[in-house]
Amino acid sequence: MFELFLIIMIFLSPFLLLVLIKNYFTYKTTAKEKSLLLQDKNQKNTIVTMQKKLDFLVERVIVLEELAINKNIDLSQKIAQL
């Protein structure tokens, strides 16, 4: 009985190896695609966040320039707005 098992394993082992190798490379390909999609999404989110921060800082610089240039502006109002 054991001999029959060994004979079956000998004939099926190449087929099993091919199936395992195919599944491995399929998994590797899909995992790499998912990783690239996540990296792209993360990069887009980072760009949007940085743009928002830049817009906020530009607004603050404009207000500070107005404070430095125009002496007629009530400083406490502008500082409170910041």
pTM score of the predicted model: 0.49
Q: What is the pLDDT of residue 25?
A: 95
CA atoms of 41 and 77, how far apart (whole Å): 40
Does the pLDDT value for residue 67 go beyond 80?
no
For 21, 23, 25, 48, the CA distances from 30, given in Å and listed in that order, are 14, 11, 9, 27
**Which residue type, as a one-letter code, is found at position 10?**
I
Could you give the number of structural domains in the chain? Answer: 1
Q: Quick: pLDDT tens for 14-54.
A: 899 999 999 999 999 999 999 999 998 888 889 889 999 99
Lowest mean pLDDT among 11-20, 48-57, 72-81: 72-81
Domain extent for 33: 2-81
